[in-house]
Chains A and B, each alone.
Chain A
């Protein structure tokens, strides 16, 4: 089985540009999560979806960030306009829901650098 697939793996962009990160969850999983990891803040949950519906976006830092899940096999996290403080590793993760023992599996991450 393919794992969670993220693209791009690495992106360097200039401040003010739009950044789109993409994620394909594991087939059959009904929960999808976006996390951000930085040295200062550790792993932060930005937003998560259940059956393609956003459940909690309280971790999204500001209006420059938006996330969508148009179908069960695809999600995007968009930053517009990007700023240097957005530089981080962004992880997408997915799992089955309904039971606290269902493991959440992570993609390899998208390493974003905004200069």
Chain B
């Protein structure tokens, strides 16, 4: 079964510090993509970063990086130099076509609070 697990319902981080949000996944698809989305209190879903299952290097987008460990089936999001505006819900998601038909499945989310 295809599944995404985020085990941290809530996290706190001090402003300007780095924080890691955990994500593990399970899939039988040979090829898949892993995504992180941010959902601020205003409600919209904002795409942050993508990692392909065959990518050799970890993805980075500005202050966001994805720590991809394929053997462990983990795709943790690292936010460096946290800012107050980073306070939001963060969702890990996976997309695959072979068994998943191209749909995106989500984890339960992690609520991040950045303290001044």
Contacts and interface: CB of A to CB of B under 8 A. Distances in A.
Interface of B: 29, 31-33, 35, 37, 43-45, 47, 50, 52-53, 91, 95-97, 101-106, 108-109
A101 B52 contact: yes
Interface residues of A, number: 25
Contacts of A50: 102
Interface stretch (A20-28, A41-49, A66-74, A77-85): A41-49
Contacts of A33: 103-104
A109 B40 CA distance: 13
Closest 3 A-B residue pairs measured CB to CB?
A106-B45, A100-B33, A43-B106
Interface of A: 31, 33, 42-43, 45, 48, 50, 55-56, 89, 91, 93, 97-106, 108-109, 111
Contacts of A109: 43-45
A57 to B, nearest CB: 11
Contact of A101 (B29, B33, B43, B91): B33
9 contacts: A33-B104, A48-B101, A93-B45, A103-B50, A105-B47, A106-B37, A106-B44, A109-B45, A111-B43
